[in-house]
Chains A and B, each alone.
Chain A
């Protein structure tokens, strides 16, 4: 298993990339400009692609290099491009209806990371992995998941909801690269394509929302209750 056979340099490199990806999630939390969110998401995807490539090359999983290229292409380029197009078409530059100030969101995000670490640490203790990179990978996985949910809760704009979901996906992808690099290639590829379909679907629905409902803010979607 990869996580048991890491050299010092490898472990440091993987940890560094994981932490950079986590910090980029905070960039998203700390800004109200949707374009910043998209750029941060793109950067995060590239970091994850770099991580995949690094694991593929140093850990002898050649197919991961291929996955890294696909990640950079799909998650790092195509998805941000699609999102930017939606934002430009609908002229949504800013998240106007956040529940919290950026600073408070960031603090809240910090607590979520602490919680994730506590959970990952507990798992690590049980599985004798305390000083292993697995704890960091699990922390990043859970933290990105929770930060994604936080973005879904705090932000009302439709594009922000998509970004929240994509952050969740990125977290899973990031963690799975370190924990289960041998996961079947087919599955990873299908999930990537699936993501593309889902974002296109979201894009179409946002346009329908804009045209038929006249708003893309989830706080104004209040026709259906009870």
Chain B
């Protein structure tokens, strides 16, 4: 029964993808994509409620359904739904692309499909392939506008991420090899099998494999110093794509790192592996802080904020313990919601002021009182200020860090979060209260341009004020399964 829900998600998304491509009519593709997003969201909520506490497998152990995977799918479904609604308004602004718009929606559904596939893979190799497919599909979405910048971004994205994923594949093969000494030359490659061999395998080999996987999937997550593709791809794709990349894709790749970390749980190198994750997270925060402070382009600002938040999540999982894990999981959801809001607002303003430059966007509140206020609230939320969800999850991670093996990172994180708070909001101060612009924007925002932002804002406000009991129970269950990883 529960598997049918999962298959239904894939089928519905797949149908939207195929239907959009075949129909050749943008409105049809748009409607199909939106319908798929709504149905997916409902089905994922069903999964969230119905998934049993213990992981279950199907199809000869090729598929895995566990609380963690479902949680990542939940974040994804939310972003997919919000972005699909927003795309209706945003993509209609692109008159030059009207003839190809059905392909955009088809690719958009395909992108969602590949991301729905990844968390349910029980075979690390197939998980790797799912992540590789997300790269291929999203590269076309990033380059959709065919402007020189978009194509350049798509090219850099696919080259850098493919090189990174090459490392991850090598790590995967070496993990499997480590198992052949214990389970014999041929065995099922599953997360559970790898976890069972890890305590008996050679620690040096495991560490090497883990570092390769960490750097490989870390490239996809956007952890510094492998983040260099991220600001390009996030800033040059259409705004709904940026939201999907940032709010959904990065989580899917983070899931892989966590599954490998979980494999090492009862080995002698667990602490070292954790520390490696903490160091990458800490460095990501530093890089993000420096680039956020000096940023001049609005969507790159939001993109570096993604580097920051992936760093925070990496720190949370690296710290481990119930607080670190729950904080990081909660942070995934809060970040997905908030970052979608920020990207939608940035897309609106870029179009209204006809510029990507922060310097050209001025007096937002005067021209857009309602959506401007929501965007500003989103900016305050993304820097981790109360009373929004990210404040709560960051605080939880900091508390988790106090009890971890790396308490130094708590201070590091706290200081850099303050730097980012000041740097990020300074840009918004300029955009909201700077001098009057030379050309006043004449754009009228429609309901679809603002509604997804408002919904996201309401959600992060709610999540910041109240740990919803079912969410808390779900996250606690994941933390138990991951054994405090």
Contact = CB atoms under 8 A, between A and B. Distances in A.
Interface of A: 1-2, 119, 122-123, 126-127, 141, 145, 148-149, 152, 158, 161, 164-165, 168-169, 171-172, 175-176, 179-184, 187, 190-191, 194, 197-198, 201-202, 205, 208-209, 212-214, 218, 221, 223-224, 226
B155 A165 contact: no
A64 to B, nearest CB: 12
Given A179-B173, A209-B152, A221-B156, A127 B166 contact: no
A1 B223 CA distance: 37
Contacts of A214: 148
B155 A209 contact: yes
A165 B162 contact: yes
A223 B152 CA distance: 8
Contacts of A149: 163
Q: Which 3 A-B pairs have the closest CB atoms?
A: A182-B186, A182-B185, A187-B125
B185 A181 contact: yes
Contacts of A172: 166, 169-170, 173
Nearest to B149: A223
Contact of A213 (B152, B185, B235, B300): B152
A149 to B, nearest CB: 7
Contact of B181 (A1, A165, A176, A208): A1
Interface of B: 123, 125-126, 129, 132-133, 136, 139-140, 143, 146-149, 151-156, 158-159, 162-163, 166-167, 169-170, 173, 176-177, 180-181, 184-189, 202, 204-205, 208, 231-232, 235-236, 291, 294-297, 300
Nearest to A148: B166
* Interface residue SS majority, chain B: helix
Contact of B300 (A180, A198, A221, A226): A226
Contacts of B123: 184, 187
8 contacts: A2-B185, A127-B181, A165-B166, A168-B166, A183-B189, A205-B143, A205-B158, A223-B152
Nearest to A161: B159
B154 A205 contact: yes
Contacts of B236: 224
B146 A224 contact: no
A140 to B, nearest CB: 12
Contacts of A218: 155-156, 159
B232 A224 contact: yes
B275 to A, nearest CB: 21
A122 to B, nearest CB: 7
A163 B466 CA distance: 52
A205 B155 contact: yes
Given A205-B158, A224-B232, 17 more contacts: A1-B180, A123-B202, A123-B204, A123-B205, A145-B167, A148-B163, A175-B173, A180-B176, A198-B136, A205-B151, A212-B146, A218-B156, A221-B152, A223-B149, A224-B153, A226-B291, A226-B300
A183 B149 CA distance: 41
* Interface residue SS majority, chain A: helix
A224 B181 contact: no
A145 to B, nearest CB: 6
A191 B148 CA distance: 31
Contact of A183 (B129, B154, B176, B235): B176
Contacts of B232: 224
Contacts of B294: 226
Nearest to B201: A127
A226 B181 CA distance: 47
Contacts of A197: 133, 136
B66 to A, nearest CB: 21
Given A127-B202, A175-B173, A187-B189, A201 B136 contact: yes
Nearest to B294: A226
Contacts of B156: 218, 221, 224
Given A209-B152, A224-B156, A224-B232, A194 B189 contact: no
Nearest to B136: A201
Contact of A180 (B177, B188, B295): B177
A194 B132 contact: yes
B163 A187 contact: no
Nearest to A191: B129
Nearest to B169: A172
A175 B185 CA distance: 15
A183 B132 CA distance: 19
B145 to A, nearest CB: 10
Contacts of A224: 149, 152-153, 156, 231-232, 235-236
Nearest to B146: A212
A172 B216 CA distance: 14
A223 B356 CA distance: 13
A130 to B, nearest CB: 14
A23 to B, nearest CB: 21
A209 B154 CA distance: 10
A187 B169 CA distance: 11
A184 B125 contact: yes
Given A165-B162, A226-B294, A182 B180 contact: yes
A212 B235 CA distance: 18
Which of the listed residues B154, B184, B291 has the most CB atoms from chain A within 10 Å of its own CB? B154
A201 B140 CA distance: 8
Contacts of B187: 182
A196 B427 CA distance: 44
A145 B165 CA distance: 12
B133 A194 contact: yes
Contacts of B173: 172, 175-176, 179-180, 183
B163 A152 contact: yes
B163 A209 contact: no
A109 B154 CA distance: 29
A152 B226 CA distance: 15
B203 to A, nearest CB: 8
Contacts of A191: 125, 129, 169
Contacts of A183: 125, 173, 176, 189
A181 B185 CA distance: 8
A187 B202 contact: no
Contacts of A202: 158
A150 to B, nearest CB: 12
B208 A123 contact: yes
Contact of A126 (B176, B189, B205, B295): B205
B199 to A, nearest CB: 16
